[in-house]
Amino acid sequence: MRLAQKIALITGAGSGIGRESALLFALEGASVVVADVDESGGRKTVAQIEDAGGRAVFVHADVSRAADCAQMVEVAVSHFGGLHILLNNAGIMLAEDDDAVATEETVWDLTMNVNLKGVYLGCKYGIPAIRASGGGSIINVASFVALLGAATPQLAYTASKGGVLSMTRELAVIHAREGIRVNALCPGPLRTELLMKVLNTEEKRQRRLVHIPMGRFGEALEIAQAALFLASDESSYVTGATFTVDGGITAAYVTPE
């Protein structure tokens, strides 16, 4: 097993990338702390892990709140005995997120609080626990829009993910000699509930698909498999990296139909 004896904390694990990562990490031997604001979804993830013979515990956590982030790390330490893997996956993409003129300040602030501050708080409380456990891997979920502009305006989301990417690089440099690796995972457009709520018409979906060389949306499991590599010792010489899993969208933004 690739994550045997490891303890993983995954935010936003009640659905999408987070759930698929939690299931996969558990299958590979990790004990998993499932953190989410969605209690029903989070507990369903735990039940699926336990039904498959794995070990998991749910903790309610709003990653924009320091107390919640401190608590989710404490649960990992108290319930399983430490922390080796932190997957900062929780994020939001609001339908009201648009260009600078149309995006309300409340939308900007909420997006930044969850997507960027949430990663900072996860690292703030997670890094001491990973250090105390002898080192490990932090994976921060950014996005392909951190690398190029989105065809559909979503300024707050794009800016927040750019911040995640920059923060990841700096953290990687700071903690490299402590045995703590920090990498950014940049998914392309995925067939997840989060994105499909925004691309809620066939016209919007086609506008995004035309730019993807592979001609399809990615699946959450495909991102989870990339996260598994970054979480495992197979990526032991990888830190500060931008791991892009995007169907080729950043390689050839304009693609003929």
Active site residues: 157
Listing DSSP states for the chain in one string gives: -TTTT-EEEEETTTSHHHHHHHHHHHHTT-EEEEEES-HHHHHHHHHHHHHTT-EEEEEE--TTSHHHHHHHHHHIIIIIS---EEEE------TT--STTTS-HHHHHHHHIIIIIHHHHHHHHHHHHHHHTT-EEEEEE--GGGTS--SS--HHHHHHHHHHHHHHHHHHHHHGGGTEEEEEEEE--B-SHHHHHHS-SHHHHHHHHTT-TT-S-B-HHHHHHHHHHHHSGGGTT--S-EEEESTTTTT-SS---
Residue 117: count of CB within 10 angstroms of its CB: 20
